[in-house]
């Protein structure tokens, strides 16, 4: 075996090692599904009553006669995420438009860095901010007895989801060829008209994907929602009502369960639900983005 | 009298006005996103700074976490981050190498990309369930640094992959072709040309991962983080305190913790995360200035 043979063997080995690394993401995503399904399966096939799960608000896993109604948790997650999106979709799309279309030079760089830093703040810090800064602030401003609820968690979540939406939306706007803008400007269109009649329609899919990924982020957020939402099982009727999210329920209850018990299984079932929904959101975003590349 | 040729018509003036209004509105929206965050950071600094001292950083908590410092939590976070990096950087770099240097444009590659997006999008608490089911129970690591770090590694893998892939793809294709034409194998090309030319970009991604990993809470709650430990961890099979979990615990579970202490912990945590993040960004901007091609 001479040096060239050796180089060939090394090359083949490296190729296989790198291939193994290459499919690692698939292995892990499948692994996540298998492991949470494995722990949740006994519950899903046994005590789970789908009708009760989706229509009852009675989440009483520790009572003598336990019931597993997740409706309040689903509504809790949906209301907080919805409120967050109400705030952050317009703001982040506006910010993306400003950064991509109006800001130039230093301003642009500084804003991009700020948005990136915003994305880096850990969720437990956001939760702490919700509890200790926003909580008293909301009580004082709106004169309500409790500042932890949909409003607080929604505001926090909105600020958390904004950077990812801004970044992806800005990428989508940047991907519109300059020739489109130039053509419109040559026809006498103002900057405003260029943006609304040319750039936004051309980057529609990318903007939609940005919003979807923002929704996914809000939907799956755990610590901040756990700390800022009040964590009471409740169908909210006002923004000041306290709610409980799917993610937060898992985080707060898993530590007290017995392995293999129904309560344990029910929490993994919530995990399966979260996994499936985020998977669908990400898949949709991927398909939507692919739609533009084909064109 | 005829108007000068290039003076603004009323139509021009109106459209110019609408343009400035649009610009102002979007600028305001951007500011509305940034201002609350600066206010929040300011509050954390003002309320947390008085708590911070050498003693705070280098002593253990006392009196049921209501006094003392954060040393074991700092050390624990370093343990978690280092072990997570040891696991995720080799795998992540290999994945990026595959995607950038080998992967044909086929269904498998598309599946890998989708899996990466999903891995980044799966809620952190689902990663925690996975880590608990897989590492703590199935592989019998129990609640330990190893189990917690591996959970963090799986969760932050996309950060390494995406950053590495970007810096690999920034190496011009001509470099590779030149090397292949000299008779070098693919691996020799990667080892001697592609990696040396992208190593600093990879490093940026690694620093970014440090920033992400040190702030995560949910994935380590059940897999290895503990509220109080009288000693520092000695091996990867020990449980550990961690900054993020410590903040969660003293903010929500422990009683009679002075406000100043909690703000201090939050400030130190966010300082670690933002500093690593800033280093990564500064490094990236510096590299962009250096680029030779």
Per-residue pLDDT, averaged over A135-160, amounts to 91
CB pair distance less than 8 Å for B157 and A25: yes
Minimal CA separation from A164 to chain B, in Å: 11
Say which of B124, B190, B266 has its CB closest to residue A128. B266
Question: Is residue B84's pLDDT more than 80?
Answer: yes
User: How far apart, in whole angstroms, are the C-alpha atoms of residue A96 and residue A169?
Assistant: 6
pLDDT digits (tens, 9 = 90+) for A118-127: 888 999 999 9
Do residues A158 and A35 both lie within one domain?
no
Domain with residue A194: its CATH number is: 1.10.3720.10
Do residues A24 and A85 both lie within one domain?
no
Q: Which of A24-38, A44-58, B228-242 has the highest mean pLDDT?
A: A24-38
Question: Is residue B242's pLDDT more than 90?
Answer: yes
pLDDT digits (tens, 9 = 90+) for B157-183: 999 999 999 999 989 999 999 999 998
Do residues A11 and A121 both lie within one domain?
no
Say which of A26, A91, A125 has its CB closest to residue B112. A26
Do residues A40 and A92 both lie within one domain?
no
Q: What percent of chain A has pLDDT over 90?
A: 52
User: Which residues, in sequence order, are bridge partners of residue A230?
Assistant: A243
Give the nearest chain A residue to B223 (CA atoms). Answer: A255
Helix (DSSP H) and strand (DSSP E) numbers for chain B: 12, 2
User: How far apart, in whole angstroms, are the C-alpha atoms of residue B56 and residue B77?
Assistant: 16
User: How far apart, in whole angstroms, are the C-alpha atoms of residue B112 and residue A29?
Assistant: 10
Do residues A86 and A219 both lie within one domain?
yes
Q: How many structural domains compose chain A? A: 2
Question: Is residue A134's pLDDT more than 80?
Answer: yes
Do residues A149 and A27 both lie within one domain?
no
Say what angle helices A24-45 and A262-294 make with each other, to 10 degrees.
140
User: How far apart, in whole angstroms, are the C-alpha atoms of residue B71 and residue B85?
Assistant: 21
* Interchain CB contact of B274 with A (< 8 Å): yes
ipTM score for this prediction? 0.91
Q: Using the Cα atoms of residue A261, residue A267, residue A270 and residue A272 in order, give the sign of their dihedral.
A: negative
CB pair distance less than 8 Å for B273 and A133: no
Do residues A94 and A128 both lie within one domain?
yes
Longest dimension (CA), chain A: 83
Helix (H) or strand (E) holding B257: none
Question: Which pLDDT score, from 0 to 100, does residue B214 have?
Answer: 92
Is residue A267, in this structure, part of any structural domain at all? no
Residue with tokens 């409120």: A83
B contacts of A288 (beta carbons < 8 Å): none
* Interchain CB contact of B19 with A (< 8 Å): yes
Q: Which of these ranges, A167-181, A201-215, B27-41, B88-102, has the smallest mean pLDDT?
A: B27-41
Is residue A268, in this structure, part of any structural domain at all? no
- Asked if B274 and B76 count as a contact pair (C-beta separation under 8 A), the reply is no
| pTM confidence score | 0.91
- Asked if B242 and B270 count as a contact pair (C-beta separation under 8 A), the reply is no
Q: Which of these ranges, A69-83, A142-156, B278-292, has the smallest mean pLDDT?
A: B278-292
Minimal CA separation from A3 to chain B, in Å: 12
Tokens linked to A99? 């950064």
Choosing among A3, A22, A40, A278, which should be mutated to test the B contact, i.e. which has the most B CBs within 10 A?
Answer: A22
pLDDT digits (tens, 9 = 90+) for A255-270: 888 888 888 989 999 9
Question: Is residue B2's pLDDT more than 70?
Answer: no
- Asked if A95 and B33 count as a contact pair (C-beta separation under 8 A), the reply is yes
Question: Is residue A169's pLDDT more than 60?
Answer: yes
Is residue A219, in this structure, part of any structural domain at all? yes
Instruction: Pick left, alpha or beta for residue A143 (phi over 0 → left; psi -120 to 50 → alpha; otherwise beta).
Output: left
Confidence band for A293, pLDDT divided at 50, 70 and 90: low
Minimal CA separation from A202 to chain B, in Å: 19
- Asked if B215 and A122 count as a contact pair (C-beta separation under 8 A), the reply is yes
A contacts of B119 (beta carbons < 8 Å): 25, 28-29
HEC sequence for chain A: CCHHHHHHHHHHHHHHHHHHHHCHHHHHHHHHHHHHHHHHHHHHHCCCCHHHHHHCCCEECCCCCCEECCHHHHHHHHHHHHHHHHHHHHHHHHHHHHHHHHCCHHHHHHHHHHHHHHHHCCHHHHHHHHHHHHHHHHHHHHCCCCCCCHHHHHHHHHHHHHHHHHHHHHHHHHCCCHHHHHHHHHCCCCHHHHHHHHHHHHCHHHHHHHHHHHHHHHHHCCHHHHHHCECCCCCCCCCCCCECCHHHHHHHHHHHCCCCCHHHHHHHHHHHHHHHHHHHHHHHHHHHHHHHHHC
Do residues A86 and A173 both lie within one domain?
yes
CB pair distance less than 8 Å for B186 and A159: no
Question: Which pLDDT score, from 0 to 100, does residue A150 have?
Answer: 92
Give the nearest chain A residue to B15 (CA atoms). Answer: A190
CB pair distance less than 8 Å for A255 and B222: yes
User: How far apart, in whole angstroms, are the C-alpha atoms of residue B209 and residue B277?
Assistant: 9
Is residue A154, in this structure, part of any structural domain at all? yes
Rg (CA), chain A: 24
Residue A106, CA distances (Å) to A102, A111, A250, B59, B278 in order? 12, 9, 44, 43, 17
Pairing of strands B61-62, A59-60: unpaired
Per-residue pLDDT, averaged over A272-293, amounts to 86
Confidence band for B73, pLDDT divided at 50, 70 and 90: very high
Say which of A97, A98, A121 has its CB closest to residue B270. A121
Do residues A38 and A145 both lie within one domain?
no
B contacts of A36 (beta carbons < 8 Å): 126, 129-130, 133
Question: Which pLDDT score, from 0 to 100, does residue A294 have?
Answer: 55
Do residues A34 and A112 both lie within one domain?
no
Minimal CA separation from A276 to chain B, in Å: 9
A contacts of B108 (beta carbons < 8 Å): 23
Range 115-154 of B in CB contact (< 8 A) with A: 115-119, 121-130, 132-134, 137-138, 154
Domains, chain B, with CATH or none: 76-290 (1.10.3720.10)
Nearest one of B146, B121, B116, B113 to B223, comparing CA atoms: B146
Give the nearest chain B residue to A265 (CA atoms). Answer: B129
Minimal CA separation from B101 to chain A, in Å: 10
Question: Is residue B292's pLDDT more than 70?
Answer: no
Residue with tokens 């003002």: B46
Is residue A12, in this structure, part of any structural domain at all? yes
Exposure string for A255-280, b = 16+ CB within 10 A, e = fewer: eebeeeebbbbbbbbbbbbbbebbbe
Say which of B29, B108, B185 has its CB closest to residue A98. B29
Is residue A10, in this structure, part of any structural domain at all? yes
Confidence band for A143, pLDDT divided at 50, 70 and 90: confident
Tokens linked to A278? 């985020």
Do residues A165 and A282 both lie within one domain?
yes
Name, in order, each residue with C-beta under 8 angstroms of A262's C-beta and a sequence gap of 6 or more: A43, A46, A47, A61, A66, A68
A contacts of B159 (beta carbons < 8 Å): none
- Asked if B159 and B212 count as a contact pair (C-beta separation under 8 A), the reply is yes
User: How far apart, in whole angstroms, are the C-alpha atoms of residue B227 and residue A76?
Assistant: 28
User: Which residues, in sequence order, are bridge partners of residue B67?
Assistant: B62
- Asked if A272 and A37 count as a contact pair (C-beta separation under 8 A), the reply is yes
Confidence band for B4, pLDDT divided at 50, 70 and 90: low
Give the nearest chain B residue to A158 (CA atoms). Answer: B33
Question: Is residue B10's pLDDT more than 60?
Answer: yes
Confidence band for B5, pLDDT divided at 50, 70 and 90: low
Higher pLDDT, A51 or B246: B246
Is residue A74, in this structure, part of any structural domain at all? yes
How many Cβ contacts (< 8 angstroms) between chains A and B? 276
Q: What percent of chain B has pLDDT over 90?
A: 53
Say which of B26, B43, B93 has its CB closest to residue A102. B26
User: How far apart, in whole angstroms, are the C-alpha atoms of residue A22 and residue A26?
Assistant: 8
Choosing among A3, A16, A20, A28, which should be mutated to test the B contact, i.e. which has the most B CBs within 10 A?
Answer: A28
Phi, psi (5° rounding) for residue B101? -105, -30
pLDDT digits (tens, 9 = 90+) for B122-155: 999 999 999 999 999 999 998 999 999 999 999 9
Do residues A99 and A204 both lie within one domain?
yes
Is residue A53, in this structure, part of any structural domain at all? no
* Interchain CB contact of B254 with A (< 8 Å): no
| Domain assignment of residue A190, given as a range | 70-258+277-294
Question: Which pLDDT score, from 0 to 100, does residue B201 have?
Answer: 87
Question: Which pLDDT score, from 0 to 100, does residue B11 have?
Answer: 78
């Amino acid at each position: 075996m001479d040096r060239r043979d050796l180089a060939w063997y090394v090359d083949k080995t490296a190729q296989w090692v790198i291939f193994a690394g290459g499919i690692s993401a698939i292995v892990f995503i499948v692994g996540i599904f298998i492991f949470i399904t494995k722990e949740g399966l006994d519950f899903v096939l046994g005590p789970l009553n789908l009708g009760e799960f989706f229509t009852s608000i009675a989440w009483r896993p520790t009572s003598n006669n336990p019931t597993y109604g997740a409706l309040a948790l689903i509504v809790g997650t949906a209301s907080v995420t919805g409120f967050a999106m109400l705030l952050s979709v317009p703001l982040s799309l506006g910010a993306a438009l400003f950064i991509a279309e109006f800001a130039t030079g230093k301003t642009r760089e500084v804003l991009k860095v700020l948005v990136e830093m915003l994305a880096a703040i850990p969720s437990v810090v956001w939760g702490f901010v919700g509890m200790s800064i926003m909580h008293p602030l909301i009580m004082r401003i709106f004169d309500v007895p409790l500042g932890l609820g949909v409003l607080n968690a929604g505001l926090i979540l909105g600020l958390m989801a904004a950077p990812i939406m801004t970044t992806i939306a800005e990428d989508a706007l940047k991907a519109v060829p300059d020739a489109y803008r130039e053509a419109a400007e040559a026809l006498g269109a103002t900057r405003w008209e260029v943006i609304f009649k040319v750039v936004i329609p051309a980057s529609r899919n990318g903007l939609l994907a940005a919003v979807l990924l923002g929704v996914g982020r809000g939907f799956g957020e755990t610590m901040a929602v756990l700390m800022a939402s009040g964590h009471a099982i409740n169908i909210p009727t006002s923004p000041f009502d306290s709610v409980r999210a799917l993610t937060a329920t898992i985080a707060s209850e898993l530590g007290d369960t017995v392995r293999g018990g129904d309560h344990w299984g029910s929490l993994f079932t919530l995990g399966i639900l979260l996994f499936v929904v985020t998977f669908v959101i990400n898949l949709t975003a991927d398909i939507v983005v692919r739609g533009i590349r084909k064109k | 009298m005829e108007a000068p040729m290039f003076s603004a018509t009323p139509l021009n003036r109106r459209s110019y006005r609408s343009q400035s209004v649009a610009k102002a509105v979007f600028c305001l929206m951007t500011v509305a996103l940034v201002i609350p965050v600066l206010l929040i950071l300011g509050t954390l600094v003002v309320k947390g700074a008085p708590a911070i001292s050498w003693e705070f950083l280098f002593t253990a908590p006392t009196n049921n976490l209501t006094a003392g410092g954060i040393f074991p939590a700092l050390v624990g976070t370093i343990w978690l981050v280092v072990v997570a990096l040891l696991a995720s950087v080799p795998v992540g770099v290999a994945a990026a190498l595959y995607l950038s240097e080998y992967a044909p444009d086929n269904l498998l590659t598309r599946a890998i990309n989708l899996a990466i997006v999903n891995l980044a999008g799966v809620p952190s608490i689902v990663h925690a369930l996975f880590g608990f089911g897989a590492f703590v129970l199935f592989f019998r690591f129990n609640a330990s640094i190893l189990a917690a770090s591996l959970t963090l590694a799986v969760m932050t893998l996309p950060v390494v992959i995406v950053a590495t892939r970007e810096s690999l793809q920034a190496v011009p294709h001509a470099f590779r072709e030149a090397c292949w034409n000299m008779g070098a194998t693919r691996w020799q090309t990667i080892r001697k040309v592609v990696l040396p030319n992208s190593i600093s970009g990879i490093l940026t991604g690694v620093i970014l991962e440090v920033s992400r990993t040190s702030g995560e809470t949910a994935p380590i709650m059940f897999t290895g983080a503990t509220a109080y430990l009288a000693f520092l961890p000695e091996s990867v099979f020990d449980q550990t305190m961690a900054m993020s979990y410590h903040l969660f615990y003293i903010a929500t579970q422990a009683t009679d913790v002075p406000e100043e202490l909690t703000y201090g912990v939050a400030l130190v945590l966010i300082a670690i995360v933002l500093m690593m993040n800033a280093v990564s960004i500064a490094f990236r901007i510096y590299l962009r200035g250096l680029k030779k091609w």
